[in-house]
Structure 1
Amino acid sequence: MKYKKLGNTSLETAPIVFGGNVFGWTLDEKKSYKMLDELYEKGFTTIDTADVYSRWAPGNTGGESEIILGKWMKDRGVRDKINLATKVGSSMQENAPKDISREHILKASEDSLKRLQTDYIDLYYTHWDDDKTPVEETLQTYQQLIQDGKVRYIGASNLSAERLQASLKAAEEENLPKYEVFQPEYSLMSRRKFEEKIREICEKNELSVLSYFSLASGFLTGKYQRIEDVKGTDREMFLKDYFNEGGKMVLDAIWEIANEHMVSEAAISLAWIMQRPGITAPIASATKKAHLKSFFEAIDIELTKEQMKRLNEASAWKEDLL
């Protein structure tokens, strides 16, 4: 498996990053251990999580994903073999405002380190922008964490093009740490925000791009065909807006091309992202060992120009992008 470098860092990742939002949500601790063992054995050693994962699950308060991942790394003795990414900016309190102030980052980073049972975080993301903290304050705080050895590199997710550009400018002009990775929502169901402005900024500044919701919360696996399929489930809030004519067009195109390659629909959805300009790797999750098959299918196949065109046109129908 060919690994890819992340930005101007010493970190490398497999062609697909595993999303740890399922730990403590759709996978309990025992099942999470099994999945992590399988991932590690197969070479998927970049794990993406966040301090608030999996707060939305019934009975959870946040931090469950980090706790499980931390216990697993300690039990298996593999911390130095894992590229560990987590995030800051959200609150453990429901409906609380986003916060990337110095005070919040310093407190949240200590809490994450304790839950993860580690002395350092390989890649620390600004998860969400609060649209008020000066970008210099946020970067200066990261600078302190890097100098203290608690963070190696930093990344950003969900920043507007304007705030991302301002952060990169401040880093250059004031000799502050630079975001090396950007994490946007990006899939066949969500293209516009990344493609309009942010992709160009990332390319010009040599930021690696790791896309989240790459399978649109499972919609692009073809598992869910009707809104009734997700009614009353944990995924309803993520999927309810996809069941329209645009979503059907995307699913139809994926299904046709999956049959042409004799692979899963998830594999086609991931392969499309992997072949899109400006993308380093998609982030994807799995809840069963069998689901990992689609990861290898995606890595092994090469979509033709004609197949990419079909997928581009089907997904562009939804967001008016070609």
Structure 2
Amino acid sequence: MSEQDFIAGIPLVLGGNVFGFTAKGDEAFAVLDAFYEAGGRMIDTADVYSAWVPGHKGGESETVLGQWFDKSGVRDDMRIHTKTGMLGGAELYEPARVLQSLDASLDRLRTDRVDLYYAHKDYPELDIAQIVEAFDGTVRSGKVHALGASNFDAARLSAAVSQAEASGATPFTALQNEYNLVAREAYGPDLQRLVTERGIAMLPFFGLASGYLTGKYRSEADYAKSVRGERAKQLAGGNGPQVLAVMDEVASETGASLPAIALAWLVRQPGIPAPIASARTVEQLHELLEFTRLELSQDQIDRLTAAA
């Protein structure tokens, strides 16, 4: 499967982690409608979204998306990315369990196929051949078009690609790791080399560092105001303020918003055709989409890169 099997429309993957969590009902549908109308065609979700909310068990995001597909009638236009592997342990990667998880996601999404299906995390105790075989089974079932790996390091992703080649299985052609202006460890030079050499698409999550790179967290009081504040504080680390300072300079030079600057920087990094970012409201979505019209200079890219 090629990148075109799961990459389409404008270069933004809409993060589905907010649906059924902070964006529900008509508010969620309004964001999805606006994304579609703007040319957005890729949505990322997972069977674990939003199991972290008291009373939730996972699958809430997929359920909202399925309701929207029924309401909008645009499923055939969209590229749907979902993931499995977080709602338990290594037993989730037994071939039968992977197929069971896929079917449950399809029921919630109200569709008969997924465009990109991820192993949501690695289980290093498992032989990589087992993971490759299990996810290859989803493609052979006819219900999945392409496969991805999330939260894998370079050694395990390389081993997975090599195993797929040796066995004739469907390889992972996408990677979803954390990567943004303040948190870069999970997509270092070794992974960048691997994905560019192998033609793997890197679709980074936490592109806005849980909102930190929007600039709305400038003090301890700001963190306390948001349900994502503590996570944003962790992602910001010690370099956060100096990154925001350079982003403020670039915003002054370009007139662009900080979210647009953060995402425009991401798509200039090796192997990244599109970032993943979520929006709770239509207003937030429009702010995200600004990056598709922003051209950063090489000097601005270099200064942003050096800031952390």
Shorter chain as denominator, the TM-score bin is over 0.9
Give the 3-state SS of the residue equivalent to 1:154 in structure 2.
strand
Give the 3-state SS of the residue equivalent to 2:93 in structure 1.
coil
1:36 counterpart residue number: 32
Question: Which of the numbers 132, 156, 161 marks the counterpart of 1:139?
Answer: 132
Give the 3-state SS of the residue equivalent to 2:269 in structure 1.
coil
1:290 offset after TM fit, Å?
Answer: 1.6
**After alignment, is 145-154 or 228-237 more displaced?**
228-237
Question: Which of the numbers 48, 51, 62 marks the counterpart of 1:52?
Answer: 48
Distance 1:300 1:248 in 2: 26
Give the 3-state SS of the residue equivalent to 1:303 in structure 2.
coil
1:71 offset after TM fit, Å?
Answer: 1.0
**CA contact 1:217–1:235 (8 Å) conserved in 2:** yes
1:9 offset after TM fit, Å?
Answer: 3.6
Give the 3-state SS of the residue equivalent to 2:212 in structure 1.
helix
CA root-mean-square deviation: 1.8
**After alignment, is 177-186 or 57-66 more displaced?**
57-66
Q: Does residue 293 of the first structure (1) align with residue 286 of the second (2)?
A: yes
**CA contact 1:100–1:129 (8 Å) conserved in 2:** no
Residue pairs, 1:3-152, within 5 angstroms: 7=3, 9=5, 11-91=7-87, 96-98=88-90, 99-152=92-145
Residue pairs, 1:194-273, within 5 angstroms: 194-231=187-224, 233-242=226-235, 245-273=238-266
Give the 3-state SS of the residue equivalent to 2:170 in structure 1.
coil
**CA contact 2:158–2:194 (8 Å) conserved in 1:** yes
Identity of aligned residues (%): 37
1:10 offset after TM fit, Å?
Answer: 6.6
Distance 1:163 1:243 in 2: 27
Give the 3-state SS of the residue equivalent to 1:214 in structure 2.
coil
**After alignment, is 130-139 or 169-178 more displaced?**
130-139
1:319 counterpart residue number: none
CA offsets per residue over residues 217-263 of structure 1, 9 Å max, x none?
00000011123212264213412324554110001111110111111
Give the 3-state SS of the residue equivalent to 1:200 in structure 2.
helix
1:33 offset after TM fit, Å?
Answer: 0.8
Distance 1:234 1:295 in 2: 20
The residue type equivalent to 1:50 in the other structure is A
| TM superposition score normalised by structure 1 | 0.90
Distance 1:244 1:193 in 2: 15
Give the 3-state SS of the residue equivalent to 2:22 in structure 1.
coil
Unaligned runs of 5+ in 2: none
The residue type equivalent to 2:103 in the other structure is E
Distance 2:236 2:166 in 1: 46
2:181 counterpart residue number: 188
Distance 1:169 1:242 in 2: 33
The one of the two structures with greater contact order (alpha-carbon pairs below 8 A, sep at least 6) is: 2
Cα distance change on mapping 1:181 and 1:242 into 2, 3 Å: closer
The residue type equivalent to 2:254 in the other structure is H
The residue type equivalent to 1:227 in the other structure is E
Give the 3-state SS of the residue equivalent to 1:119 in structure 2.
coil
Give the 3-state SS of the residue equivalent to 1:152 in structure 2.
strand
CA offsets per residue over residues 130-162 of structure 1, 9 Å max, x none?
212222222222222222211111111101211
**After alignment, is 15-24 or 103-112 more displaced?**
103-112
Q: How many residues align?
A: 307
**CA contact 2:179–2:205 (8 Å) conserved in 1:** yes
Distance 1:196 1:26 in 2: 35
Give the 3-state SS of the residue equivalent to 2:181 in structure 1.
coil
Give the 3-state SS of the residue equivalent to 2:27 in structure 1.
helix
**CA contact 1:54–1:65 (8 Å) conserved in 2:** yes
Give the 3-state SS of the residue equivalent to 1:87 in structure 2.
strand
CA offsets per residue over residues 57-91 of structure 1, 9 Å max, x none?
23322110000001110122111111000001111
1:8 offset after TM fit, Å?
Answer: 6.3
**After alignment, is 293-302 or 205-214 more displaced?**
293-302
Give the 3-state SS of the residue equivalent to 1:128 in structure 2.
coil
